[in-house]
Structures are given as C-alpha cells and as structure tokens.
Amino acid sequence: MTRTVPGPTDHVVVVGAGFAGLTAALHLLGAGRSVTVVERGEHPGGRAGRLDLCTERGTFQVDTGPTVLTMPDLLDEPFAAVGEKLSERLDLVELDPGYRTHFADGSTIDVHTDGVAMEQEVRAVCGPEAAAGYRDMRAWLTKLYESEIDTFIGANFDSPLDLLGRDLVRLAALGGFGRLGPKIASFLPDERLRRIFSFQALYAGVPPATALGAYGVIAYMDTVAGVYFPKGGMRTIGQALADAAVDAGATILYGRTVTGLERGAGRVTALRHMSTDDPPADSERLACDAVVLTPDLPVVHDLVGCAPRRAVPLRYSPSAVVLHAGLRSSRHRAAHHTISFGRAWESTFQEIIGDGRLMSDPSLLITRPTATDPGLAPDGADLLFVLAPCPNLDAGPLDWERVGPAYRDELLGALEARDHPGLGDVAGDIEVSRLVTPADWAAAGMAAGTPFSVSHTFAQTGPFRPRNLVRGLDNAVLAGCGTTPGVGIPPVVLSGRLAAQRITGAPARSHRTTR
C-alpha cells in the first residue's frame, strides 16, 4: 500500500502557486481539506510567468515560461476535483499543424495530430515507405503511453519494487527500457522524421540516442495527443487554476516568501513567511497540519535542512537561451510553433551536454503566439519567442553577461541565413525585446541555471527520481518538476495530484486515451 501522511491533515499549506502547487491545492480542496497557498510572486503560474513589454504602440504580452501545451485532459482533472470544467475557465485552441519543421536541405514538414493527415504529409515529403513506418510508429507510441500513464508516470512509488507487475513486463516488451533513438529509427527510414519524433528527449535532459525508450511518451503527447494554446496566452492557465482554487475556498497569499519551517515530533507545525518588499515586512507564522513544497529542489533542501542521500549527485538538464521579441510588423506566413533544425544533430547534443559549449549549428524552437491570438501584440505587430538549448551552468559556466548579447545576434543571423517563410528578416524588425539566459534562470532560484530541472537519466527516472516524500518529516510532500514524475506541463500537473494523494490517500484515476 502506498505510503500516505499520517495524523491530521485538515489544513494544508502549499508553497508555490505554480501548476504543481495549484493542482495539488484543487485536489486537496476537492477532498475536503482547508488550503492556504503561499506564493513569492505577485501572480500565479510559477515558471509559466508573465512579462508585459510596453511600447508607444501598445503592449506585447509575453509568456516567459512554457509555450507548448499538451494533454489538456490532465489539466481538466484538478478543475473536476472541485466540480468545475476546464472549458469553463480556459478557451483552448488545438493547433494544426502542431509544429512546422524546417530542415537545412530546404524541406519543410508540417506535424499534424490527425493520423491520416500526418501519414499523407509523410508520404508526400518522404515517400510511401516512410508513411508506413510512421503508421507503425504512431501505434507504438500509443501503446507506450497506455502502458505508462497509470503505473510509470501517474503513480507514487515507495520502492523500485512497486514497478514489478504486468505493466512493467509490457513496458519492457515495448522497448521502454531500451534506447529511444534506435527505436524511432527502426520505424522511420528518413532522418528528418527521426528528428521530429525524438527531439523531445531534450526536454527530459538527455540525447535521443541514449534516452530511455519510455520517453517516447513525450512524442506521443506532442504528436498524437495534440498541441494546444489558450487564448490570452499561457499565463491564463495559472490564473484559471488560481481562480478555481479561490472560488473553492483556498486562500492565496501573494508576494510572500517562505523563510523557514517550524517542527515538532517529526512534523512541520508551521511556516514562517515574509513579504518580498524591500525592505521586507516582519515575518509571520502560518500553522499547518501538512505542507506541499513545490520550489526548486535546492530551495526545498534549504527549507528542510538537508538534501536526500544519493550515491551519485543529481544531474541537471540543459538550459536554454530565450529571446522574446516584439516585432513592428506581422509574420503571417509563420506557424504558431516552428522548429528550425540545423544540419548538425548528434554533435549538437554532445556540444550542449557533454562539452558544455554552445551549439555551433543551432536547432531552434520559434513560437509565434500571435498566430493564434493576435491580441497578444499591438495591432499590426507580432510576437516571437526564440528558444535555443544551451549548457546549464554546471556543464558550461559561461559569462552570460558577455556571451548573451553576442549569442542573440548569432541566433538571429542563423534565422536570417535560413530564410524560413516569415522568419528570415527578424533582427531589423524588432521593436522591443528581452533576452533570458541561464544566469537569469539561476537568479530566479533554478538549480544549475536551467528551467528544466533534474534530467531524466535512468538513475533519475520513475522510482529513482527524487521522491515526493521528505525523510524525517512525516507531513511534508513535494511537487513540481524536480520530483516524480518529472519535467513538462503534463508531468508537473500529475505531480500535484500525486502530492495530494500522499495526503488524502485518494486512488489514482485512469488517463488512458487513444487518438
């Protein structure tokens, strides 16, 4: 039986109003708990932050965190816990194509969620053999997801032995414990397709060639389950979760930083918190019966007074350089999400992860949210988000104050040279911009200067990932991307539910769907 918090749990304090914390709060509220959320920022959302770039023409409404939303049915669960529906809080648009991918040879492949449409796209660009391989790979991704979602991704672990059973056998038979890159290659003869269906491993912090096959589930989420965007921007997700929590009875304290935990008899009895004003106001005490901690792991370890003992130190995922650019004119020919692949591939991962160097031939994610919601920019203007993976500060301790501006110009030069439709002349059209580097992520409290937290190596996956229980504190539970199940909006949302289940003992729900 899965371990749960013993003793009273009537009042739960959640530290952090990100997706994990708010999801946990809604599940706890639905189970009859009283909930207080303490958030250091002035808005909900956590890593899904907001930035308004103001000009004389108007405001560019920037999402500073994730830009890709998949598996919205998982988000529907916390709303349902308090008797609401996601559709009543968010206006979601399914993107088609989910991605537009450009390659160094000049070819373009649109990535469609619909299986028939995608098979036709593959046949037209890559040929009939590739189309048949895509069909088989899609079926494999679906089976992989169905074998993982309830037992490998969506379950609490107290021991690696919890994995044993028919689902583990099925996952192993599907190649979940083999290597993702070779498995994808066994289906797809075209290297361009192999990139499309394996680049997601970088989100997990490992190269496709060495990532576990189980992480093909991210490709399922991206390319089979669909890619969505909420009108008003990604910032509306956190706001919707927070509004639902408040309407269900939660109290959210914004602009408050938790500075310490009071303890007694192996339990957290209260939290100390103070305002983020400068200078801060006096510290206040907030009593609790249980606590959910969602900050980055080093912050959690400071609060609890120690880090868990591990044979091997934690390894963190690569980081990213992000350019937010408000453009004077519209780029109507550009898709909502564009992936610009460089000619290099495997050497790119070696540079970022192994050598701690910047990509010599960068592959980029370009997001144009105004393709779906033009109101995020002034009339006639456009908004771009350009993301370049890069080493974290452990792997490559670069002087980002010096390197950042030059690398920004290099990335814009690469886009101009590639001359993708609508994206080839960006640099000269920028009206306002903001550059974010690993140094900025580190200043925000993210370990190793990466927003992608602990990487998903074998030793940091499933039951081997940092647990959501705290040794020595019976009523403290973790949620967020640093604990189980991992990084990305779907895992983070699941982490909130798993944390709530540690407190309420509620059974897991099934998420199995087939598209």
Residue with the bigger pLDDT between 167 and 110: it is 110
Give percent above pLDDT 90 in the chain: 81
Could you report the per-residue pLDDT of 186-238, keeping only the tens digit for each? 999 999 999 999 998 887 888 998 889 988 999 999 999 999 999 999 999 99
Least confident of 305-314, 342-351, 461-470: 305-314
Q: What pLDDT does residue 515 have?
A: 43
Spatial distance between the Cα atoms of 71 and 226, rounded to a whole number of angstroms: 7
Residue with the bigger pLDDT between 506 and 33: it is 33
Tell me the mean pLDDT in the region 278-298. Answer: 90
What's 100's DSSP letter? E
Tell me the mean pLDDT in the region 97-119. Answer: 97
Spatial distance between the Cα atoms of 399 and 407, rounded to a whole number of angstroms: 12
pLDDT at 514 over 70: no
Q: Are 21 and 493 in contact (CB under 8 A)?
A: no
Mean pLDDT score of the chain = 93
Could you report the per-residue pLDDT of 317-335, keeping only the tens digit for each? 999 999 999 999 999 999 9
510 falls in which pLDDT band (50, 70, 90)? very low
Rounded alpha-carbon distances, angstroms, from residue 163 to 147, 157, 171, 172, 216:
12, 8, 10, 11, 19
Spatial distance between the Cα atoms of 510 and 146, rounded to a whole number of angstroms: 10
pLDDT at 164 over 70: no
368 falls in which pLDDT band (50, 70, 90)? very high
What's 421's DSSP letter? T
pLDDT at 167 over 90: no
pLDDT at 475 over 70: yes
171 falls in which pLDDT band (50, 70, 90)? confident
Alpha-helical segments (H) within 191-327: 191-196, 216-223, 235-247, 297-304
Q: Are 16 and 36 in contact (CB under 8 A)?
A: no
Beta strands in 382-481 (DSSP E): 382-390, 430-436, 469-470, 473-478
Residue 222 phi, psi (nearest 5)? -75, -40
Entry pTM:
0.94
Looking up tokens 């591939």 gives 345
According to DSSP, the β-strands at 267-275 and 11-15 are: unpaired
Spatial distance between the Cα atoms of 171 and 176, rounded to a whole number of angstroms: 5
Spatial distance between the Cα atoms of 463 and 484, rounded to a whole number of angstroms: 8
Rounded alpha-carbon distances, angstroms, from residue 360 to 324, 357, 397:
22, 8, 17
Could you report the per-residue pLDDT of 433-449, keeping only the tens digit for each? 999 999 999 999 999 99
